[in-house]
A and B are shown apart, each in its own frame.
Chain A
Amino acid sequence: MLTVSTALALLLPALPLFTGLALVLRSQKASPAQGTWAMRLTTRLTWGLFGLAVVAAVLVFATDWTGPLTTSAVSLHPLGIVMTLLITLISGIVHSFSTRYMQSDPQLTRFAGNLSALTGAILLLVLTAHLVVFALAWLATTLLLTQLIGHFKNWSAAQASARRMRAVFLAGDAALITGLSLLAFSAGSVELGTVTAAAAQSNSWLVLLAALLIMIGGMARSAIVPFHSWLLNSMTAPTPVSAMMHAGLVNAGGFVVVRFHEVFLAVPTVLNLLFYFGAATALLGTSTMLVRGDVKRALGGSTIGQMGFMMMQCGLGAFAHAIYHLAAHGLYKASFFLSVGSTVGQKQKDKGSHQPSHIAAITLGALLAAGGVAAAMTSSLSVLGGSASAMILFFAVFTAAHSAAMLMTSGASLRNLALLAGIVGLCAGTYALGLWLVDAALGPALTEAMLPIGLGHWIVVGLFLLLWLAQLAVTKRSSLLPPALYVWLLNTGRSRSGAELTALRESQTSN
């Protein structure tokens, strides 16, 4: 069984990586027809990988549910398999989508190659347990994403965006690699299991520094404040690349924290810090989304906010929650990006949505919220863990309360109300089930690590609650923001140079 799983763990990253690199190397001379062929090849390959990932999942979870974190260069560890399933699924969809969407791109071979290689690099990153390989894979994703964002070589705006992203990433990469080196140095090993185990035992300043550096690397990747602006400027990328990036690559920050959770748990201060960075990002990203008038950058703001929330979860030690969040968000955001074409004139009719009684809605919502939180706090909730979990549940309770209040005041017919409530219930059920599955897959090491909750955490949640109520209560929405704040949000993440605006003349027709 070990040999089969090792072979699988090797094939999963190696196949797309080498196929992709081979295509990129040949892309200079490739004709459009070869581009179509290359795109088909990598698409089939990626779906094949998804199949392999399913096999791997069955192998590991059926034969050894918890799965050992082995020390070989690549291994099928539970977290790696969950990530592999997600990545191959999204990459498969993005590949299939691109076969039609990117059909007339003159550089389709290079595109297919880079996309495939990026998939391989991410798979290597999630499956490896060797620090050097980890660092190399991490760097490779930086370079490959730069290629994809700057896919149009003649378009200076795309090149500027790519350069900007690369600069932020490389700075983060430098921090991360330094952090990894410190860990390896102090443990005298390059094997992830050994290194994290050693770090968990010691509480030297070296581990603290390493954790900080790794966190910085993860933050740059996940567009956490103050690294958020590269993401808002990456819309020069072809739409499928944005889907892949927002669903796959930005998650790397959350992943790296979870992957090195033993190190972080040894220095909870860093996790606390991460929680606050995450909270700031969640607020900033979501607010940025609210003022954006162009769809892709509004989605960018949303991603930043969601990444912030993921980091809040990491900061609480709710690692399984974070993994579930990044998976659900990945699917959600990829779907949004791929359907950006559907947004013309869509919201026009919204103005007439009359809300009969706001006060009723708010009261009802607040009551429901209070009840829900009380229930969550007092009940045992053993599956979902301790109080950190309750804190995350708080957000679900806001949402459920909001939905309930809106449905009750919507004036819908009884039949429609029942149907809609059914849909909301189904979503809630899926949420619980999904969380339970991820919990079960990741095992106790990752699910029972939650940190104690302090006053600071509650202040943050209180802030969200306040904003929620404010947004519910204020009817004249434009008056919600003071002018200075509005302008500040509008300027968030704008590049200083004017390069973003240059025309893309002939970027498609040549080179």
Chain B
Amino acid sequence: MPQDISIQDPVAETSSSREVPVRELVRQASNIIAPVWPLKSFVACNPLQGLEDLPFEEAVETGRQLFGGRGYLAPKEYRTRISEGRIDKKILRQVFDERLGGRLPELTLGGVKIDAETLLWRHLIQGLFGKQSSASPAAELNPLTSLVNRQTIKWCVAFFDEGVATLPMPGRQQGLYRAWRALAPHDSELQELADERGASVLKSLAKTPEAAIKRAFDILDIEDPSAHLTRHLGALHGWAGYIKWRADSKPSGFKKAPTDLVDYLALRLTIEALAVKADPLRYKSTDTQEPSSTPVTRRFDHLASKLNIKNAALARANKTEKKKLLTLLDKAEAHDFGPIWLTASEETYRSNLLGKLEQQVPRAVAKSDPATQNPQAQLLFCIDVRSEPFRRHLEALGPYDTFGYAGFFGIPMRHHPTIGNEVRDLCPALVKPKHDVAEQPLPGQLTAAQTLESAQARKKQAKTLYGKLKANVATSFALVEATGVFSGLSMLARTLAPRSLSQASKRLTQKPLAEQAYTPTIQTAYDEQIDRLVGFTLKEQVAYAKAMFEMTGLEAPFGRLLVLCGHGGSTVNNPFASTINCGACGGHSGAANARTMAAILNRPEVREQLAEEGIKLPDNCIALAAEHDTTTDEVTLFGTDQIPASHAEDLAQLWNRLDEAGKKNRAYRIKGLPGASSDPDSHMTERSTDWAQVRPEWGLARNAAFIAAPRRLTEQLDLEGRCFLHSYDWQQDPEGDTLEAILTAPMVVGEWINTQYYFSTVDNTVYGSGSKVTQNVVGGIGVMQGNASDLMDGLPWQSVYDEDGRPYHDPLRLMTTVLAPVEQVEEVIAANDYLQQLFDNNWVALHVLDPETKQSLRYQSGLTWDEAPSYAPTPD
């Protein structure tokens, strides 16, 4: 009722007893939306995170209804995989029988019985309709949704801009709805839309977003408000997800433009109400029409010719029979085949990997011979799947032990670098940063620091000047005329010789490496420049150091060097640069965390206390920070000039071997990279500096498994860069605390990454961000497609598809494997609801390798275990 709208106090409104308050309704509805992080600190996230309380298959179906996204690869792709042998036929048959066997209706054609099972099996593996696929094209949006989306996007782009526009939307500090409300009466598009009948609504927009939503419910005569809100949230799930992230995490610029989903929905519903009020008949039918499919007879004839159905039977077959048969096939392909294909793909991979791992269990369990175990250096790498091949190549070169640990080295910190001006949260999204870490110049490096700071100031001033001239009505013209020639020259160099250009500019500026001139502040202190307390107390330092040894099972004897190797990718002109960085560091490089941990470990006070805890680092063991560039496979060692002369030789040797390992790994990786030249060494550098390169590296594509076990279990295997490797020693963890920490933090990050790659691959438009070629960076926060679209979350097409247009990423759900007694694992899961949800709902599969029996056990829902491996592949 219109008079209800005069309610001005949202609190008064919530006291209404008969209804759920609007704010609460919105909160409930928004549970289905997954948060979307801005691109500069890209955090991989399951786009169906809000649906993880449902079993995978149901969640995928709900996702289809809400967002219009597919949950499985295209049937054609799976069938190709079957013919290529990438899906084992024997396993496929097993899965098929389990799912469909014995549950099929009887079919007849002209009185002759048809074997439905054989028919479906053939359809599953070959596809019986050729190009006349039954898959319906994407339903067109109904005009009302399309219209509301159009307006929503316009205002979201204006409201959330972080500096692309010189003149921001006025009134942003009041929130999206109120800012829009002040501008809406001036909007000719809305005036046109409202027409005469809606003009009254446009003139008296409700003052608060809550009231606006209620008013829209009244005008639209909504019976199920909750479902209506859900539909609106699903219509542009990227923008909605971004607003959700922003409202939850309140980033630094939040106060300038504070807003939440109540605001967003108020805007959408008001526009919807406006349109419906203006022209109620036009938007009456909201149902989308089923697209007409190919006529029954024609499809059936095609089928009959393919199946060699006898003419006599065919002639007698009536239309009902034909239709029934076609419906059976279509329904199976639409609902049953996806899960069958997916499960068979997964089991093909898993049975193979498990077979290999089982063989290694005795080796992993055996007490190793102390004589052979005398490492020169121990290196900790990130659990990232890209570490595995590099570690393998490095281990082959010398007496080096490698370990896998989350790439932020367990230190949740906010980094304030002096050089490179962005403040960054260097920890997984699951964790909030607890410490501020600044940088101070090293005693011998004051000149270098000064040079760096001066260069940075100069760059900033030049940028400001350029930006101001560019954005001024009168100065932009002469600016273009004065700088055009230089744009041309730089463009020429960047296109024709990106590698030489970057090398030349490095040589020309001769800038020292910032990481060599500065050191992170470890001791608690007040930092004037950033006006806050930085560093760690001694107790905290010891705690982080101790956690690292406990989590990874790293213990004596220690080598002479203990290397903490963070990682980052290097790429230019790439909005998705953060996707190839360290996922455990919020999409940034982990170098700062590694440097912080190394500095902590080298402090005598810390070592003293660690020794009391039983971790005795000998004096000749020096901690050293490093960064693995995953694009070029070059490893930079930090603070090397602080290393005493006694270790010079160790350092030189390490350097050589890292170099060699890098070479080997480049040669190993180059096979999968499209457009690669024959020389891996120069080519990788070229990729990392080329502004036209859409695939600097493959990132975490093809990830499929998470293994928590000592390295001894996997060191003999080529895991193809598909596994997250977390070092874990069950013998040091009788209480299961470490395992719980591993499964609830690193493994969950792994699951987020895995599901993001999965969904970005199976539906790159809805759950991914589409082709880079037509992306349009918006507001410095994300990308849209073309002129305007939903805020695209997920990975771009080029990150998961190869140059032939086939998925490079193999979309399999994560398989977690733990080497530990099954009781120990069960206890951890029993105590943790979230883990049960992930495993019971089939978002992650769990396998345990039992050190006693050396057999693998597979977790079934409800804390039960399956003894034998469920599926056996075709023997080779």
Interface residues of B, count at CB 8 A? 115
Which among A99, A102, A400, A419 is the interface contact of B773 at CB below 8 angstroms?
A102
Within 8 A of A (CB), among B145-178: 146-147, 149-150, 153-154, 157-158, 160-172
Residues in B neighbouring A416, C-beta threshold 8 A: 454, 457-458, 461
Interface status of A185 (Cβ within 8 A of chain B): no
B691-A486 in contact (CB<8A): no
A503-B465 in contact (CB<8A): no
Interface status of A64 (Cβ within 8 A of chain B): no
Given contacts A487-B183, A503-B789, contact A294 B482 (CB under 8 A): no
Residues in B neighbouring A152, C-beta threshold 8 A: 774
Residues in A neighbouring B461, C-beta threshold 8 A: 407, 410, 412, 416, 420
What is the minimal beta-carbon distance from B291 to any residue of chain A, in angstroms?
13
| Stretch from B24-32, B222-230, B490-498, B748-756 contacting the other chain | B490-498
In the complex, per-residue mask of B176-188: 1 if CB is within 8 Å of any chain A CB, else 0? 0000001100111
B474-A395 in contact (CB<8A): yes
B469-A402 in contact (CB<8A): yes
A294-B138 in contact (CB<8A): no
A328-B484 in contact (CB<8A): yes
In the complex, per-residue mask of A85-114: 1 if CB is within 8 Å of any chain B CB, else 0? 000010001001111111111100000000
- CA separation between A428 and B775, bound complex, in Å? 35
Given contacts A291-B158, A406-B468, A420-B465, contact A399 B487 (CB under 8 A): no
- CA separation between A424 and B97, bound complex, in Å? 75
In the complex, per-residue mask of B461-472: 1 if CB is within 8 Å of any chain A CB, else 0? 110110111111
B167-A349 in contact (CB<8A): no
A330-B777 in contact (CB<8A): no
In the complex, per-residue mask of B768-780: 1 if CB is within 8 Å of any chain A CB, else 0? 0011111111111
Within 8 A of B (CB), among A443-495: 464-465, 467-468, 471-472, 477-481, 483-484, 486-488, 490-491, 494-495
A293-B189 in contact (CB<8A): no
A402-B458 in contact (CB<8A): no
- CA separation between A339 and B695, bound complex, in Å? 15
- CA separation between A298 and B488, bound complex, in Å? 20
A335-B488 in contact (CB<8A): yes
Which among A106, A350, A415, A423 is the interface contact of B464 at CB below 8 angstroms?
A350
Interface status of A347 (Cβ within 8 A of chain B): yes
- CA separation between A184 and B675, bound complex, in Å? 52
| Stretch from B1-9, B359-367, B572-580, B603-611 contacting the other chain | B572-580
Residues in A neighbouring B798, C-beta threshold 8 A: 104
Residues in A neighbouring B149, C-beta threshold 8 A: 498, 501
B476-A286 in contact (CB<8A): yes
Residues in A neighbouring B577, C-beta threshold 8 A: 344
Residues in A neighbouring B778, C-beta threshold 8 A: 293-295
| Stretch from A68-76, A205-213, A236-244, A376-384 contacting the other chain | A236-244
Which among A99, A342, A472 is the interface contact of B573 at CB below 8 angstroms?
A342
B465-A486 in contact (CB<8A): no
Residues in B neighbouring A239, C-beta threshold 8 A: 773-774
What is the minimal beta-carbon distance from B160 to any residue of chain A, in angstroms?
7
A293-B474 in contact (CB<8A): no
Residues in A neighbouring B483, C-beta threshold 8 A: 328, 332, 427
Given contacts A341-B573, A420-B465, contact A402 B475 (CB under 8 A): yes
Interface status of A396 (Cβ within 8 A of chain B): yes
- CA separation between A500 and B789, bound complex, in Å? 8
What is the minimal beta-carbon distance from A481 to any residue of chain B, in angstroms?
6
B167-A486 in contact (CB<8A): yes
A406-B464 in contact (CB<8A): yes
| Stretch from A123-131, A255-263, A265-273, A301-309 contacting the other chain | A301-309
B495-A477 in contact (CB<8A): no
Residues in A neighbouring B785, C-beta threshold 8 A: 157, 503-504
In the complex, per-residue mask of B486-511: 1 if CB is within 8 Å of any chain A CB, else 0? 11101110111000000000000000
Residues in A neighbouring B477, C-beta threshold 8 A: 282, 305-306, 309, 325, 395, 399
| Stretch from B312-320, B373-381, B534-542, B801-809 contacting the other chain | B801-809
B797-A508 in contact (CB<8A): yes
Interface centre among B165, B167, B468, B477 (most CB of A within 10 A): B477
A236-B473 in contact (CB<8A): no
Given contacts A327-B484, A504-B770, contact A302 B476 (CB under 8 A): yes
- CA separation between A495 and B786, bound complex, in Å? 13
Closest to A321 in B: B481
Interface status of A6 (Cβ within 8 A of chain B): no
A465-B575 in contact (CB<8A): no
B786-A161 in contact (CB<8A): yes
Residues in B neighbouring A100, C-beta threshold 8 A: 675, 690, 692-694
Given contacts A327-B484, A465-B474, A483-B170, contact A290 B165 (CB under 8 A): yes
Interface status of B766 (Cβ within 8 A of chain A): yes
Residues in A neighbouring B547, C-beta threshold 8 A: none
B805-A509 in contact (CB<8A): yes
Interface centre among A161, A292, A479, A484 (most CB of B within 10 A): A292
Interface status of B104 (Cβ within 8 A of chain A): no
Interface centre among B160, B182, B188, B786 (most CB of A within 10 A): B786
Interface status of A403 (Cβ within 8 A of chain B): yes
A236-B166 in contact (CB<8A): no
Which among B164, B488, B495 is the interface contact of A97 at CB below 8 angstroms?
B495
Within 8 A of A (CB), among B777-817: 777-782, 784-789, 797-798, 801-805
A503-B143 in contact (CB<8A): no
A353-B464 in contact (CB<8A): yes
Interface status of B38 (Cβ within 8 A of chain A): yes
B573-A503 in contact (CB<8A): no
- CA separation between A470 and B102, bound complex, in Å? 80
B491-A293 in contact (CB<8A): no
Interface status of A345 (Cβ within 8 A of chain B): yes
Closest to B479 in A: A399
Which among B464, B471, B478, B777 is the interface contact of A341 at CB below 8 angstroms?
B777
Which among B138, B186, B492 is the interface contact of A484 at CB below 8 angstroms?
B186
What is the minimal beta-carbon distance from B569 to any residue of chain A, in angstroms?
14
Within 8 A of A (CB), among B499-536: none
B770-A406 in contact (CB<8A): no
B803-A32 in contact (CB<8A): yes
Interface status of A199 (Cβ within 8 A of chain B): no
Which among B38, B422, B458, B690 is the interface contact of A349 at CB below 8 angstroms?
B422
What is the minimal beta-carbon distance from B131 to any residue of chain A, in angstroms?
11
Given contacts A331-B491, A486-B167, contact A306 B788 (CB under 8 A): no
Residues in B neighbouring A161, C-beta threshold 8 A: 786-787
What is the minimal beta-carbon distance from B73 to any residue of chain A, in angstroms?
11
A500-B143 in contact (CB<8A): no
A104-B805 in contact (CB<8A): yes
Interface status of B741 (Cβ within 8 A of chain A): no
Which among A293, A306, A410 is the interface contact of B480 at CB below 8 angstroms?
A306
Residues in B neighbouring A410, C-beta threshold 8 A: 461, 464-465
Residues in A neighbouring B143, C-beta threshold 8 A: 498
B771-A508 in contact (CB<8A): yes
A237-B482 in contact (CB<8A): no
Residues in A neighbouring B693, C-beta threshold 8 A: 100-101
- CA separation between A332 and B182, bound complex, in Å? 37
Interface status of B581 (Cβ within 8 A of chain A): no
- CA separation between A465 and B473, bound complex, in Å? 9
Residues in A neighbouring B573, C-beta threshold 8 A: 338-342
Interface status of B15 (Cβ within 8 A of chain A): no
B485-A498 in contact (CB<8A): no
The 4 closest A-B pairs by CB, nearest first: A328-B484, A347-B163, A345-B40, A331-B488
- Other A-B contacts than A290-B473, A293-B165, A331-B488, 12 sampled, CB-CB below 8 A, are A96-B495, A100-B675, A103-B675, A293-B157, A294-B778, A309-B477, A328-B481, A331-B491, A348-B163, A420-B465, A487-B188, A498-B143
Instruction: Report 22 cross-chain contacts, Cβ distance below 8 Å, ordered by A residue.
Output: A97-B495, A101-B773, A105-B773, A161-B786, A290-B473, A293-B158, A296-B777, A328-B485, A332-B487, A338-B494, A340-B573, A342-B574, A345-B162, A396-B482, A420-B462, A427-B482, A427-B483, A430-B485, A478-B172, A486-B170, A490-B158, A508-B805
